[in-house]
């Protein structure tokens, strides 16, 4: 039997988005919406001169899974660059599609039950999509 989709740990992560308030002076900002479920995110990022994330700010309008994913991204993105976040996003999407092992992203094991719920997967990928978009914008500048 599958693990419950929503549990105390997911809900605790969901409220943790409050620890990452939007950054008024962010160098980068990306806004994304998941078409299937309507979840939305505005992700603010600051980077150092080499392109590594230094700060993350969030405004998330999503289910608890999308919020939890955003909190995990915000917690663990600092110190990473475009290549690492793009690889994590690819690993998550591949795993959802049945290709490869569970992604090696801290805390992602809490989101594992969503693999059985394709309608929720867009919300989980959304923060990673936004981070990739913001960092790609920086790389193109």
| H or E stretch covering 31 | strand 28-33
Rg of the chain on CA atoms, in Å: 14
In angstroms, the CA 45 to CA 27 distance is: 6
Please give the chain's pLDDT, 141 residues, in tens: 456 788 899 999 999 999 999 999 999 999 999 888 889 999 999 999 999 999 999 999 999 999 999 999 999 999 999 999 999 999 999 999 999 899 999 999 999 999 999 999 999 999 999 999 999 998 988
Q: Which fold has domain 8-140?
A: Sufe protein. Chain: A (3.90.1010)
Residue 4 confidence (pLDDT): 79
Residue 1 confidence (pLDDT): 40
122 three-class SS: helix
Task: Tell me the domain boundaries of the chain.
Answer: 8-140
Residue 37 confidence (pLDDT): 86
């Amino acid at each position: 039997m599958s693990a419950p989709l929503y549990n105390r740990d997911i809900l605790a992560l969901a409220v943790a988005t409050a620890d990452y308030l939007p950054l008024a002076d962010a160098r980068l900002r990306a806004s994304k919406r998941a078409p299937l479920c309507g979840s939305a995110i505005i992700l603010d990022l600051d980077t150092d001169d080499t392109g590594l994330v230094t700060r993350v700010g969030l405004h998330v309008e999503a289910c608890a899974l999308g919020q939890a994913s955003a909190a995990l991204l915000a917690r663990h993105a600092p110190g990473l660059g475009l290549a690492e976040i793009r690889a994590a996003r690819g690993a998550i999407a591949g795993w959802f599609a049945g290709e490869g092992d569970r992604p090696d992203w801290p805390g992602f094991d809490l989101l594992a039950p969503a693999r059985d719920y394709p309608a929720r997967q867009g919300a989980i990928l959304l923060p990673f999509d936004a981070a990739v978009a913001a960092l790609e914008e920086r790389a193109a500048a």
